[in-house]
Amino acid sequence: MNANKTLTLSTLTLTLAALVLWGCAGKPTRTRPGEPAAQAETTKQRKSVGLVVGGAGVASFATVGLLKKLKEEGIEVSYIVSTGWPSIFAAGYGLMKSIHDLEWFAMRLKESDFYSDGLFDFKKGYSDHSRIASRVEKSFRVNDLAQSRVPLYLTASHLDTGKTDVYHTGSWSGPLMKTISLPGIFRPFPERSANQWIFSLNGLDVDVAKKQGADIIVAVSMYDDYLNFVETGVKDTSENVFRQIFLTKFKADLQREFGEAHYNASVYLRKPPTDFGAKRAAIQAGYDEGARLARQLRSSMME
């Protein structure tokens, strides 16, 4: 082999080596899952999700299935804004040890935990909500909303002024009883005196959720069975006039709040809101909606 051939082969070898090194340098460094760099990259890309739930009656048990499925799908909820009966289960999600404890608690709730002290019986006057308050207090064991594993915002409205109060810290007991009070099911909750009543009038509080700064707002309504129940009440009475005025505003607020959320869902069992035999169906309906929402959110949460 002469000198020219030797030089050509050497040059070719050096060129190939340079190309290989250049190709290796151009490839991104792979980091195994769980390493700090990978975690930092995931945190940077993942968008935050604020969940807004509202409802009345047994359809509200769907909150349990919804939260269970989102957790299974790895959809991390940054905070929950809740009004109405879903607040019972949203609070349980934050204050109980696990989602399994919450589901067990929900399935053990009975009609008698709600149907007492005048509930669903307008002839017995205002309810003090003592039965359900006692039941929840024995199950949660944590008294301060600030101790919730997921930041929780309970909302309720003054009946006279329409002003919305937001409860984020302190005892959950009073705020929870206020927010589950809705016309036609629970009587108004007395705040300080018999002349100051609290109702959950807003339906969904997407406005409150937006103030907390999440990138994506998800709103889930569990009011359809309740609205049907109230609409079909006694006609041609003075009480019905109030009912229709309330429903008109209530529906308008729901529609507006739904439109301001990035994603929304509804749970409609087509059963009376007092049918506790539909608890399991409600939880399953929430689970199904959670699966649908998870599919939508998965792509949106990553930039």
Residue span of the structural domain in which 210 resides: 47-298
pLDDT at position 228 is: 87
pLDDT at position 45 is: 64
3-state secondary structure string, 86-151? HHHHHHHHHHCCCHHHHHHHHHHCCHHHHCCCCCCCHHHCCCCCHHHHHHHHHHHCCCEHHHCCCC
For tokens 């047994």, the residue is 58
Burial zone of 130 (CB within 10 Å; 0-12 exposed, 13-18 middle, 19+ buried): exposed
Distance between CA 166 and CA 79 in Å, rounded? 13
Q: What angle do CA 239, 117, 244 make, to 5 degrees?
A: 20
Q: What is the pLDDT along the chain (303 residues), one digit of tens a residue?
A: 554 544 454 554 544 444 444 454 444 444 455 445 444 444 456 799 999 999 988 999 999 999 999 999 999 999 999 998 999 999 999 999 899 999 999 999 988 787 654 444 444 444 456 677 778 888 887 889 999 999 999 998 766 666 788 999 998 888 888 888 776 666 666 555 555 556 666 788 999 999 999 999 999 999 999 888 877 765 555 556 666 777 888 888 889 998 999 999 999 999 988 899 999 999 999 999 999 999 999 888 765
pTM of the full structure: 0.78
Burial zone of 65 (CB within 10 Å; 0-12 exposed, 13-18 middle, 19+ buried): buried
In a domain, 6, yes or no: no
pLDDT at position 22 is: 45
pLDDT at position 232 is: 75
For tokens 């879903």, the residue is 86
CB atoms near residue 151 (< 10 Å) = 17
In a domain, 10, yes or no: no
Radius of gyration of the chain (CA): 27
- Total of domains in the chain: 1
Q: What CATH number does the domain containing 144 carry?
A: 3.40.1090.10
pLDDT at position 248 is: 83
In a domain, 288, yes or no: yes
In a domain, 2, yes or no: no
Which one-letter DSSP state was computed for residue 267? -
In a domain, 104, yes or no: yes
- 179 within 8 A of 155, measured Cβ to Cβ: yes
- 129 within 8 A of 180, measured Cβ to Cβ: yes
DSSP-assigned states of every residue in 204-236 = --HHHHHHTT-SEEEEEEE-HHHHHHHHTS--S
In a domain, 25, yes or no: no
pLDDT at position 175 is: 84
In a domain, 5, yes or no: no
In a domain, 34, yes or no: no
CB atoms near residue 26 (< 10 Å) = 7
